[in-house]
Structure 1
């Protein structure tokens, strides 16, 4: 049998020539798209500009670009497009907008999948494309890494490249409250990056190079103290002492006219130093761009978008600046109840005081980083690689203290959990400043100790009006004051209330007041969309001992305006000393406040309203119904032998949630 010769050809070889040409064309890579957000919104497919379409399409595209590779829900898009007043056909119209965008990109020459439908909304795929806002963020991150490794010259150049991506005000051609908020955040990041850029330029002795840019920035934002301080320093180092002093006199005039205040300590102290021709104002002698000691780029996160009040607290922290000028180490401690604004205060002050710590500003959030990793995070910020960082906690601490040595650095430790951890980071010597916040009352020695209190009613309403910047607060100031009161004048709760109003432009203050007036749902209203308030209270509750946690939950069963030791005894069925010890543990955890001393000589306590609401919720979820009823029965039985405080004329305390 004769053998047969079989030749196998590929599928490509047997295809007709027209089909082969079409297949090769399909295999060519799609052109990349360049999206420009940092200015007027534009998109380009290669050299072709995309005709994005009308206002709605532009808003939808902007929302997707601000969250690349993440699903943006239809509800979010509806809110952004119609500002809380959507038509009944809004979801259909959003689908039409997305279809129009896909068509526009196809018309410009891009036929790939760019915008995916992904429940509960849409997602823009960024792979292979250029988005200038992402490039800006990556450039800032890269600059921080370079500075941590001591390459200040390269870090400065990288920041300059990132800032050059900005072409003007962001998204100004779109009428959307949601996008206005996003634009403000982006602009805040730009200002922070420029502050870092100017700081590094001054470190490198490039004071003349930054004068023109800083002059324009101060002209546009005359109340921004950090920029003005940098410009004063640049002029002084350039031999323009009179110009530097004139900038301070101008600040005095502007601050008095605009806000009725004198310039802050950042400008005041710099002005004094210039008058005295302080030697530490001159640039370092090493101008190579590679520092012999670690020079850390500012690691501080952004502060609060709106910071209101706290002038006395800021002035108290300024004592740390005076010690820094005298070359002494210092410790500052800020404690206060959850949501009181500790982090906002220290970051606000730290940004103002950054010029006094030319070797860098470092930041660690203990809740996010964790105590064992905190020293390692600080060492990375100081330029050490993971292979150089010691393996165990104590060795890391020793290396941290060795590294900061004689550096003039500011170290912000946010959320220090207890005294032992605070003690670990107290500077042993040198010239650094350590500023701590804690939700617990700490005994750690500190040159400045602040127990932060609620905002004043006036400052609370001012904060609401600043966050809801559309005149609604001025329409009904009485309702605004009542909302502030229901929020316990806590910045966190006030910000949550403002977020509700910003997300609902059709709401007026009385409408939100009605919703917050129902105490059963108040905590839920202040946690909708951003449940940080409840989460913060939960996190503090989880740090309590089991006995103190049990008392905290049971305090939600009674009127918390004035809590006597005997009531805590009855709630837990324990002796008076045990009851007071647990009450004091709650005071140390900043969940309870001391009200006064009763006629029997025992302290009496107050559970703030929002804490009481959280305690009620906790009692329902953590304490069985029979246990709750038994606790209330004991309080009622014990009440006949006691009298409530004058603030509550009832002999028998009001009981809640008795099942």
Structure 2
């Protein structure tokens, strides 16, 4: 945890949570101190004289001046390799990619348990595979299909559902004279892909398969090897569609305004879908986009990116990396992508102006991040999901705006019924209604709960309701759905100011359905106007909703129930017991004075 934080202070509570989760032993804080002492002793035994771990409130900090971190070195080398490839220096790019990959000596963080560490290991493994993809692209562009074939084949076997590795393997096999092996390998791989994923592979790999069957000259290099196809590729990058989309007819119709100018109406080139974590923003846009794709509205492709997977602390660099990927997916040679961001944006818009492409950007933290991806003229469209309520004019005049709310009880119950079957749902409609209430009508939470029921055919709906009733277990019981809700909450939470983040944490201490700015002011010991500003930030990020007005005319706010539970986890980690008790004491005193 200290290494992953890399120079930042890690609180004792965060260390306890990482090791033991929501059920730490009574001696957890003592055990952390013992472990820190053992680490310091190990460094001294290794003759490291200078301090390595510093005790800093509210926890510990790794002093990084005399340390190196292989994951950071790997990321820096991989980024340098990508820059070299963009500038056409493929030999240099190959060397840097190899040097970066040589830092790996096995699975990242192997043998270390805990959700936080396992999530980081998953991210690092994805970065490793991405570096291998770029390496093989460069090697194949240099005509080294024979040389990379053994390594590429082994890696593709280790990751049998990885589409890009299979694409590169087929190309290397074909260029090495193994046409039948490439074609038959694709057929068996496709069957497994469809069986396990439940959807067809992308149009790009189907096109390569057809080119191999036809022995197409377009995949030959001019020197007798083979080259990148000259024809435009047609990407189809959307995640799998959700078949059970309930109660979103009006929202789907609103998004249809993006197609109006194709029928002679004034153009609306950008759509924004906003809502709280788990409300179904991604499901809505993927369903709409899939429907548009099937109807042939966007014949030149669908581009998709989850912006939460990118680091936006260096926004221009990240935007350039993503634009580079989109352009290459659309068939632009890597060496043709401009190095300057402004030139890359212009080139991207010129490329889209000649085509009819839908670009979907999921989980934008701020709408400013999507500005470079807006189409200029032409028939291409941009569709964005975000937690924020920013003015749609921030991304373009006339944008289509959809604010997504939780499902009403009838629609939520219908979703549960479709997922678990009429026999179980209609057998206890009261339990179904209670399940919908406990999940707050959030489709993600309802799907997670239904998934538990499907996996446990001997459970009734009342079984899962009973397990969800205990607040401290609810997010864990929702399993994968709880994890996604936490991730969505984290995205909104990280975008808050310090005051708003603390307001979010402290409000979760109240066992009340509604609260006003006066309650927040008491909890934080601030002016009511300052408290209301903080609450409005929470409203802007869909972390609270407006629940009406009090008798005195002040606004009343309310948490979504599952968001409150996420905020409660934060306050227990980031605020000391003394700070929590003092805040509640101020609130109680204010209530008594007011009454």
TM-score clears 0.5: yes
- TM-score under structure 1 length normalisation: 0.55
Counterpart in the other structure of 2:350: 402
> Which structure's residues are more often helix, by fraction?
2
Q: State the 1:433 CA deviation.
A: 0.8
Tell me the distance in 1 between the aligned counterparts of 2:455 and 2:332. Answer: 44
Query: Is the CA contact 1:561–1:608 (under 8 Å) kept in the aligned structure 2?
Result: no
1:595-610 map, 5 Å: 595-610=547-562
For each residue in 1:294-349, what CA deviation from the matched residue of structure 2 results, as whole angstroms up to 9, or x when unmatched? 45322222122533331111111111122234494511110000110000100000
Partner residue of 2:235 out of 288, 297, 309: 297
Tell me the distance in 1 between the aligned counterparts of 2:239 and 2:590. Answer: 51
SS at 1:362 equivalent: strand
Counterpart in the other structure of 2:322: 374
1:145-294 map, 5 Å: 162=186, 186=197, 188-190=198-200, 294=232
Counterpart in the other structure of 1:324: 262
SS at 2:465 equivalent: helix
For each residue in 1:66-86, what CA deviation from the matched residue of structure 2 results, as whole angstroms up to 9, or x when unmatched? xxx9xxxxxxxxxxxxxxxxx
Q: CA RMSD in A?
A: 3.9
For each residue in 1:441-490, what CA deviation from the matched residue of structure 2 results, as whole angstroms up to 9, or x when unmatched? 12132431100011122222222233334842233222112111100010
- Pair 1:521 & 2:531 matched: no
Q: State the 1:387 CA deviation.
A: 3.4
- Pair 1:412 & 2:360 matched: yes
Counterpart in the other structure of 1:534: 486
Query: Is the CA contact 1:527–1:534 (under 8 Å) kept in the aligned structure 2?
Result: no
Query: Is the CA contact 1:464–1:480 (under 8 Å) kept in the aligned structure 2?
Result: yes
1:438-457 map, 5 Å: 438-445=386-393, 446-457=398-409
Tell me the distance in 2 between the aligned counterparts of 1:448 and 1:325. Answer: 16
Tell me the distance in 2 between the aligned counterparts of 1:160 and 1:132. Answer: 18
SS at 2:288 equivalent: helix
CA separation of 1:439/1:518 partners in 2, compared to 1, >3 Å: closer, same or farther?
Answer: same
1:636-655 map, 5 Å: 636-642=588-594
Q: State the 1:363 CA deviation.
A: 0.9
SS at 2:441 equivalent: coil
SS at 1:455 equivalent: coil
Tell me the distance in 2 between the aligned counterparts of 1:481 and 1:465. Answer: 11
For each residue in 1:421-457, what CA deviation from the matched residue of structure 2 results, as whole angstroms up to 9, or x when unmatched? 2333332322211111101112132431100011122
Counterpart in the other structure of 1:619: 571
Tell me the distance in 1 between the aligned counterparts of 2:410 and 2:589. Answer: 43
CA separation of 1:403/1:138 partners in 2, compared to 1, >3 Å: closer, same or farther?
Answer: closer
CA separation of 1:127/1:145 partners in 2, compared to 1, >3 Å: closer, same or farther?
Answer: closer
Q: State the 1:290 CA deviation.
A: 7.4
Counterpart in the other structure of 1:358: 299
SS at 1:356 equivalent: coil
- Between structure 1 and structure 2, the one with the greater Rg is 1
Tell me the distance in 1 between the aligned counterparts of 2:330 and 2:169. Answer: 14
SS at 2:359 equivalent: strand
Query: Is the CA contact 1:321–1:353 (under 8 Å) kept in the aligned structure 2?
Result: no
Q: Where does the alignment leave 5 or more consecutive residues of structure 1 unmatched?
A: 1-68, 70-125, 147-157, 171-181, 202-288, 643-650, 652-659
For each residue in 1:543-600, what CA deviation from the matched residue of structure 2 results, as whole angstroms up to 9, or x when unmatched? 2211111000000111342111111111111112211110011111110111113333
Query: Is the CA contact 2:278–2:484 (under 8 Å) kept in the aligned structure 1?
Result: no
Aligned residues: 408
For each residue in 1:214-264, what CA deviation from the matched residue of structure 2 results, as whole angstroms up to 9, or x when unmatched? xxxxxxxxxxxxxxxxxxxxxxxxxxxxxxxxxxxxxxxxxxxxxxxxxxx
SS at 1:500 equivalent: helix
SS at 1:521 equivalent: helix
Counterpart in the other structure of 1:591: 543
CA separation of 1:452/1:141 partners in 2, compared to 1, >3 Å: closer, same or farther?
Answer: farther
CA separation of 1:340/1:464 partners in 2, compared to 1, >3 Å: closer, same or farther?
Answer: same
- Pair 1:567 & 2:505 matched: no
Query: Is the CA contact 1:335–1:452 (under 8 Å) kept in the aligned structure 2?
Result: yes
Query: Is the CA contact 1:324–1:432 (under 8 Å) kept in the aligned structure 2?
Result: no
- Pair 1:473 & 2:425 matched: yes
Q: State the 1:369 CA deviation.
A: 3.3
- TM-score under structure 2 length normalisation: 0.61
Query: Is the CA contact 2:365–2:491 (under 8 Å) kept in the aligned structure 1?
Result: no
Counterpart in the other structure of 1:630: 582
- Pair 1:544 & 2:483 matched: no
Q: State the 1:194 CA deviation.
A: 8.2
For each residue in 1:345-387, what CA deviation from the matched residue of structure 2 results, as whole angstroms up to 9, or x when unmatched? 0000001001111111111111113441332222222223443
Partner residue of 2:280 out of 341, 345, 360: 341
